[in-house]
Structure 1
Amino acid sequence: MTVIAQFAKARAVADWPPLRRLSDVLGTLSPAALFSTLLAMGMVLYQATIFNDPDTFWHIAAGGWMIDHRQVLHKDIFSFSYPGRPWASHEWLAEIVMAGAYRLAGWSGVLLLFAGAIGVAAWLLGRGVARWLGPLGQGVALIAAFLVIGPTVLARPHLLMLPILVAWTLEMLAAREANRAPHGWMAILMVAWANLHGSFVFGFVLAGGFGLEALTAPGADRWKVIRDWGLFGGLIALAALATPHGISGLIAPFQIMLMGTLNQIIEWKPANFTTFTPFEGAILVTLLVCLAKGVRIPLIRVILLLFILHMALQHQRHQLVIAVIAPLLLAQPIGRAFGRAAAQDKPVTVAAKVFLAGFVVAMAIVRLVIPATRGDDAITPVSALAHVPPALAARPVFNAYNFGGYLIFKGVKPFIDGRADMYGDAFVKRYTQANNAEQPALDQVLKQYDIAWTITQPREGIVAALERRPNWKRIYADKYAVVLARTDALGAPVQTLIPAKAGTQTKGR
């Protein structure tokens, strides 16, 4: 009787008019749409990893400079090691948007900007896979995709291009399904893409692949395909040139990929399978489904997938690309293997749209009321830099690679930062040797650049090497950073500070 009574009570709650009304409203939203909303909400509320990249700082600083000076950067204005060196800010549009968000609402504004970008991408991706996959398939595809994307969810320009990448792939699929060339207005997306991030190259890869598929399709009117897809290709090529950097912006992504020191940067390292990762899991699940169900994929699309998979295996940063492209390319063949036909889009009611918009706005308000803050961490040496006297901070510094962005953000000219493409292979290699206290690289760097102080991570070889020298002195240390200075550069005596515990400081040695 107790079970029956509880069931009756639950039924009564479900029949409560407001709750039934909410259920009716949400019923017009697909599981994919709801997932997208929850994802955006999580991005707004959970900020633990999105700020784990030092480049966020210099991107915002560059965008702020361009807003103030109303011009795009074409040379280095930030470092003291290469002042005036030619440097094209190829992601200038993303940097201006990031700086604008920061100026409007601080770090919360940056969070909301990227939450919006990934939320829109998730919405589009969900709608794409929902055409061919059922609720379970949608859930598996979206969860796998965003688990793979997870490590790359950082406040950097690559996330701002994510909605464009998804929309671009959807249009390529729609064009092939309708046996036509992509719409010309996609060139507008290419203009934005080329000014946001170097991944616009994948737009050409996809267009070329689908164009080749159209050309080789049985019964295709090949002259018509060549004309229509050729015009589209020419249009997006012109669109990609519509940047402040012209042809150099078009070839910049390839120049970066040819750098010899890329393997020293985490995002450019090959995929690591020594431990299990979501990327490996996604590959295994995809293989399981495709092999077990005998999924048949058009040859050109297989080649596209294999090429992008190769890029993702070669460079971890490209896992983001395959994570959103693969579900869209595989949804149709997998759906057909399970006997599913294309589903019609369910119209979303006005009430559902209002509810969804209200939910997102509410989460944004929560984020603004409880503002995001930045403190000491592995890329943000707040306390360490605060203990550097202003006169010393104005002199040449040797800094950890991961601290360069923060130094730029705080107006200190670094020795090196995340713009490895500007510094070049030889400089990055020399920095690494000096940072590891290799002779004679360390002595040459100290002398050539008249290094007056250093701010590096505690375990770097340069720390122990300089502390053994009588003319160098430690002036601050915590678990994230160590500041050393030449005694002749200190001027007035500076009290050594070494925190004994978090939140406390004691006199050092």
Structure 2
Amino acid sequence: TLSFVIAAFAGLDLLARTGLSKPSLLAKWIAFGLLCPLVSLIHPYGVQAILATLAVAYGNEAVSLIMEWKPFNPPDSPVQEVAMLLGLFGLLVSRLRIGWAKALFVVFTLHVYLAHVRFMYLFFLLVPLVIAVEVAQQYPSLSATAWLAEKRDGLERFLARRFYAICGTAAVLLIGAVAVLGSAYQVTPSPKTSASGALAFAESHHLSGNVLNSYNFGGTLIFHGFKTYIDGRTDQLFLGGFTKSDNDTGRGDGKPLLEARLKKYAIDWALLSADDSRIPFFDQLGWKRAYSDDYAVIYLPGA
């Protein structure tokens, strides 16, 4: 859905540059814009995909609780803050001028990034592409055309003469390095989200029934064939106050709410991250700690 907005900015830029001097091209852009949402409906979910995007865009109970939907926070992202400040400094000291449509796009991408850090890629990937033409036109020395017109030095001539040999050698070395590293170091999911030890215990002890899990363990439970209590699909499946209530069970006064939810959802066992704030409540409610390691804890109902 966000791509429709990006396409609209591209159409505005065309309108700003050409006006009505090219009506046929403008008509093609209008047709393209009208067809975009229609073509996007050709899948099993139909209009529901767009409606889900709008529901998230206007916020739901889970948005404020999920890290990637939180607003930009400089202490958490110092590198991105430095990059933005350097970009702002460059704009202030340069004479770069861009059209109003592109300026609006830059402001839009910056807004959505500051509002939700998950949209970082829009600002840092698309803004350089959008202003690249103006940079090349207003600073010819930085353009590829100027570089191609320059006389090649000795290193460039050496690399150009042996281009295919160098690329082939680099490809062989890269493939060899990946093969060696792949055999020496096994790639495994992070234990902070995979709970591999805890799930191995659950499978070996044939734990079944309804599980109450920490949010970060939703994916690994699905992968291993367990039905989740909560997972990353909070914007689609866990609505109607469910996510907010689950978050409230971890607060200081959340024990009665947790006890009520254990009964309501007939929880047979619990898989919690080692730092889950509800762990003391399970101890106080008489649940037995059946398994624990540095990353996960499994609780079973007491006798």
Question: So what's the TM-score if we normalise by structure 1?
Answer: 0.51
Aligned with residue 10 of structure 2, among 207, 210, 218: 210
The answer (yes or no) to whether the contact 1:381–1:480 under 8 Å persists in 2 is yes
Matched, 1:248 2:48: yes
What is aligned with 2:199?
A: 385
What is aligned with 2:270?
A: 454
- How many residue pairs get matched? 286
Highest RCO, 1 vs 2 (Cα 8 Å, sep ≥ 6): 1
Written as runs of structure 1 = structure 2, the 5 A alignment for 1:362-401 is 362-370=176-184, 372-374=186-188, 377-388=191-202, 393-401=207-215
Matched, 1:483 2:284: no
The answer (yes or no) to whether the contact 1:408–1:414 under 8 Å persists in 2 is yes
- In the superposition, relative to structure 1, how do residues 269 and 440 fare at CA in structure 2: closer, same or farther (>3 Å)? same
The answer (yes or no) to whether the contact 2:20–2:26 under 8 Å persists in 1 is no
Q: Aligned-pair distance for 1:260?
A: 2.9
Written as runs of structure 1 = structure 2, the 5 A alignment for 1:353-368 is 354-355=168-169, 357-368=171-182
Aligned with residue 116 of structure 2, among 315, 318, 321: 315
Distance in 2 (CA, whole Å) between partners of 1:358 and 1:206 is: 39
Distance in 1 (CA, whole Å) between partners of 2:62 and 2:245 is: 11
Written as runs of structure 1 = structure 2, the 5 A alignment for 1:242-391 is 242-257=42-57, 258-274=59-75, 277-340=78-141, 342-344=143-145, 350-351=164-165, 354-355=168-169, 357-370=171-184, 372-374=186-188, 377-388=191-202
The answer (yes or no) to whether the contact 1:399–1:416 under 8 Å persists in 2 is yes
- In the superposition, relative to structure 1, how do residues 410 and 373 fare at CA in structure 2: closer, same or farther (>3 Å)? same
Name structure 2 gaps, 5 residues minimum. Answer: 149-159
- In the superposition, relative to structure 1, how do residues 389 and 360 fare at CA in structure 2: closer, same or farther (>3 Å)? closer
Q: Aligned-pair distance for 1:425?
A: 5.3
What is aligned with 1:135?
A: none
Q: Aligned-pair distance for 1:407?
A: 1.4
Name structure 1 gaps, 5 residues minimum. Answer: 1-200, 489-509
Distance in 1 (CA, whole Å) between partners of 2:220 and 2:207 is: 13
Distance in 1 (CA, whole Å) between partners of 2:75 and 2:240 is: 28
Q: Aligned-pair distance for 1:402?
A: 0.6
Q: Aligned-pair distance for 1:311?
A: 0.4
More displaced 10-residue stretch of structure 1: 320-329 or 336-345: 336-345
Q: Aligned-pair distance for 1:221?
A: 2.0
Distance in 1 (CA, whole Å) between partners of 2:295 and 2:267 is: 21
Aligned with residue 463 of structure 1, among 261, 279, 298: 279
Distance in 2 (CA, whole Å) between partners of 1:238 and 1:323 is: 29
State the one-letter code of the partner of 2:274.
Answer: P
Q: Aligned-pair distance for 1:428?
A: 0.6
Matched, 1:227 2:41: no
Q: For residue 274 of structure 1, give the secondary structure of its aligned residue in structure 2.
A: helix
Pairwise CA RMSD of aligned residues?
A: 2.6
Distance in 2 (CA, whole Å) between partners of 1:441 and 1:398 is: 14
The answer (yes or no) to whether the contact 1:213–1:300 under 8 Å persists in 2 is yes
**Percent of pairs identical after alignment?**
28
What is aligned with 1:406?
A: 220
Distance in 1 (CA, whole Å) between partners of 2:10 and 2:270 is: 52
Q: Aligned-pair distance for 1:268?
A: 0.5
Q: Aligned-pair distance for 1:226?
A: 3.0
The answer (yes or no) to whether the contact 2:16–2:101 under 8 Å persists in 1 is no
- Stretches of 4+ moved more than 4 A in 1? 348-353, 389-392
State the one-letter code of the partner of 2:278.
Answer: I
The answer (yes or no) to whether the contact 1:467–1:473 under 8 Å persists in 2 is yes
What is aligned with 1:473?
A: 288
Distance in 2 (CA, whole Å) between partners of 1:237 and 1:355 is: 46
Distance in 1 (CA, whole Å) between partners of 2:250 and 2:63 is: 17
CA distances 1:145-198 after superposition (whole Å, capped 9, x unpaired): xxxxxxxxxxxxxxxxxxxxxxxxxxxxxxxxxxxxxxxxxxxxxxxxxxxxxx
The answer (yes or no) to whether the contact 2:212–2:271 under 8 Å persists in 1 is yes
- In the superposition, relative to structure 1, how do residues 254 and 357 fare at CA in structure 2: closer, same or farther (>3 Å)? farther
Q: Aligned-pair distance for 1:365?
A: 3.1
